Structure formats: structure tokens, C-alpha cells
Chain A
């Protein structure tokens, strides 16, 4: 079973369209969207419509949560006053152009999706969240302390945990069993379709493969592929520049 997982589109329609073109060539069996459909670009309604049209199971990201409730707070951890000021423009712009039907869609998205497996006389869970199981806007970076990461996964009863939010993809394998009886847990950040932040401006997503041999004590029995795809970055950047959004968001798209 090949499962495509994508998130953090952030109203970037050219990137989403290229994602759909790419994923169609990869023999995928199921697809889930891990949130943050809107914010930072001019196509929030169009992005929502493309995802709804395909009936894709989707969870709410922090930006969706904010716009769904017509809030002026997206729960983003902006560090500087400049970032805060820019963020304010982006959320009020998005609140202005979002249509009522699309806002309602965002408001009624689930927070998490859990796939409960019973395979090879063993139970395991694939948990899909936006930020972390504890909070929609918690950042789980790659360098997070191993104990803390394991605790989060154990508390959430997640054996394979997939999330986005940081826009920086990685796959970490952690053993929460012992050396003799291993219980490997996978923490997978799926990157970002429409606003990568890992210096590679191409869009990113993940293909997770659950095979008939998947068992918790074999870390290689779960496969994770990171896919990067080209898209028309200039089109997305120019759209930002021609709007009332801060031009810095266009440069971020060009530089990743």
C-alpha cells in the first residue's frame, strides 16, 4: 500500500497542480492531506476546491484553524517584529478573500486522522497530525531530543507519526523497545508542497509504503520516499508581488 502524504500548500495553486501531476505517475493507492491549505499566496479558495473536488481526506493545519474561525491569529511562531507585521497582512488578506463555503470547509476539518492496522498478528497505528499530536502549531524539528520525541509518540499511541508544519522534511527512526525486543517508531515530516523552507525551492511530499511484511521490530519494513517536484515558481512568486501581500513571501518561494 503506497500512501501519498502532502501538506502546507499555503494557497500556492501552481505548486498544488504540479503535485497532482507528479503524484499521478507514482502508482499511489491512497492519499491524505495534512493541512495548511491557505495563507501566504492568492489562491486559498482554488486550493480548497481542488482538494475537495478529489474527496481527499484532509486535516486542519494551524492556518486553516485560524481562517476557519475568522481569527486574526494563525498560531504561527513569528520571531521578529517584521515577520509579525508581514504575518498580520497575510492573515487579514486571506480572511478578506476567502469565501464563506470554503471557510466552512476549513472549520469542519478533523484535527487528526488515525489509521489502525492489524497486520501479521500485530497492531500498529499510523497517526496523521499537522504540527504534533498535542498541538496543531507545535513544531517538531529534526533535532528534537530523542526522549521527548518518543514520549510524544508513546502518549499519542503512534507507531508511525506523519506531520508537516515546519516545511522541512525528515524521517527519524526511534526504538521505544529494548535491543532484544525492538519497537521501532517512525517520525516523518512530510515537507511542504507550496512553501518549502529547506533551501530547495521545489515542492515536496512523501510516499509511505506499508507492505505485507511490515512489523514493528524491523525498521526497514516501513518505507519512506521523499519526492521533490518542479513547479512554476515564478508564477507563484509574481502572484505574490502583484498582490497586497508582502514581497518577501515571493523571495521565500524563489529561495526555498
Chain B
């Protein structure tokens, strides 16, 4: 079973289209999106339309949630600034974002083991908490224990990694950050998503029994950056795409 996991598209349509093109060739068995469809770019409605059209199981990210607090009036669309990215979002699209779940949990029973894959945008505690590669391991262990998560998948930081932590019982906990499709911040400007392979060799005490691949794909970065520069959004956002920061 190969599961495709992606997040943090941030309204970057050229990146999202390139990701779909790449992902479709790899034939994943199930697909999940970990949120932040909008913000920082001009194509929020197009991203939402494509995700709905494909009926992809999707979580709410902090930017998707933020839209609920943005008041859009007739004048909003002529004002420059970062809120322009939210003002662009249509009413039906706002309803879709509002009714997204916060977490998706897959409860498994394989080879007499019960284990859970838990997906959250930031962390299981908060939609905008960063779980980074160097976040204190005791903190993460406690959080995963509390959330009953054996494999935790998050996005939000735009910096992909796969970490394993051993519990006192000798069980291996996995934490996977999916990186970002449309706004990488790890110095590599290519888009990123994850393929997780879970097969019947999976064992909680063997950290190599779960296969995690980070897929980087090229996309037309200049097209995405220029679209920002030609819009009312801050030009800094274009530089962010070019340099992945």
C-alpha cells in the first residue's frame, strides 16, 4: 500500500499541477492532503477546485482556518498586501475550507499489531505548532502518546524530514514532515511531497520496515514568482519561491 501525502500548496498552481503530474505517474493507492491550500499566492480557488474535483481527503491548515477571520469587502481586492491572497477566495470555497477536519486518523490492525497513523497540519495539539526535525524528543513522545499516534504525519514547517524515536518498550515511533508543494523553505526550491509504503512487513520494533520517500519535482518557478510580482501581493513572496526560504 503506497500512500501519497502532501501539504502546504499555498495557492501555487504551477507547483500543484506539476505535483499532480508527477504523483499520477507513481500510482499511489490512497492520497491525503494535510492542509494550507491557500495564502501567499493568487490561485486559491483553482487549487480548491482541483482538490474537490479529485475528492482528495484533506485537512484544514492554519491558513485555511485564518480565512474565517478575514473580512472581504468590495474594496479589499484593490488593496495591496498579504491579505490579498485571502480576499481572492470565493464564498463557496470558504465554506469548503471551514468544514475541513483537523486530523485524520487511520487505525490499523496488521500482523496482530494495533497501530495508528495520525495526520495533522501542525501538531495534534495545535494547528499552528511547528514539529521540527530538532524539536525536543521527550516533548514529541508525550504528544504522540497523548494522541495515540504511532506514525505522526505533519506539514506546516515546509521543511521535510523523517525522524524515528524509540520508546522504552522498544517500539519505534515515526514522525514525518511532508514538506511543501508550493512554498518550500529548506533551501531547495523544487516542490516536495511524500510517498509512504506500508506493507505486511511493517513491524513496530523495526524502524526500517516503513518506507518513506521524499519526492522533489521541478516546476515553473519563474511563472509562479512573476505572477506574484504582477499582483498586489508583496514581492518578497516571489523571492521566497526562488530561494526556498
Contact = CB atoms under 8 A, between A and B. Distances in A.
Nearest to B29: A52
A55 B96 contact: no
Interface in B1-46: 1, 4, 27-32
A212 B95 contact: yes
A32 interface: yes
Contacts of A112: 105-107
A211 B98 CA distance: 8
Given A29-B52, A57-B32, A105-B29, A211 B101 contact: no
A116 B104 contact: yes
A113 B104 contact: yes
Nearest to B51: A29
Contacts of B215: none
A1 B100 contact: yes
Given A57-B32, A109-B1, A114-B105, A30 B57 contact: yes
Nearest to B1: A108
Chain A, interface size: which category?
20 to 34
Nearest to A212: B98
B108 A32 contact: no
B96 A29 contact: yes
Nearest to A51: B29
B57 A57 contact: yes
A111 B107 contact: yes
Contacts of B29: 52, 55, 105
Given A108-B110, A109-B1, A113-B107, A1 B57 contact: no
Contact of A55 (B4, B117, B199): B4
Contacts of B52: 29
A116 B149 CA distance: 13
Chain B, interface size: which category?
20 to 34
A119 B65 CA distance: 10
Interface string B184-198: 000000000000001
A4 interface: yes
B200 A114 contact: no
A118 interface: yes
Interface string A182-216: 00000000000000000000000000001110100
A174 interface: no
A224 interface: no
Given A29-B52, A105-B29, A116 B4 contact: no
Contacts of A52: 27, 29
A77 interface: no
Q: Which 7 pairs of residues, A with B, have the shortest CB-CB distance?
A: A1-B99, A55-B31, A108-B1, A116-B103, A112-B107, A115-B101, A114-B105
Interface of B: 1, 4, 27-32, 52, 54-58, 95-96, 98-110, 117, 198-200, 202
Given A105-B29, A116-B102, 12 more contacts: A1-B96, A30-B58, A55-B56, A104-B1, A109-B1, A113-B105, A113-B106, A114-B105, A115-B101, A117-B101, A117-B102, A126-B101
Interface of A: 1, 4, 28-32, 52-58, 104-105, 107-119, 126, 210-212, 214
10 contacts: A28-B55, A52-B27, A55-B54, A57-B30, A107-B200, A108-B199, A110-B117, A114-B105, A116-B102, A116-B103
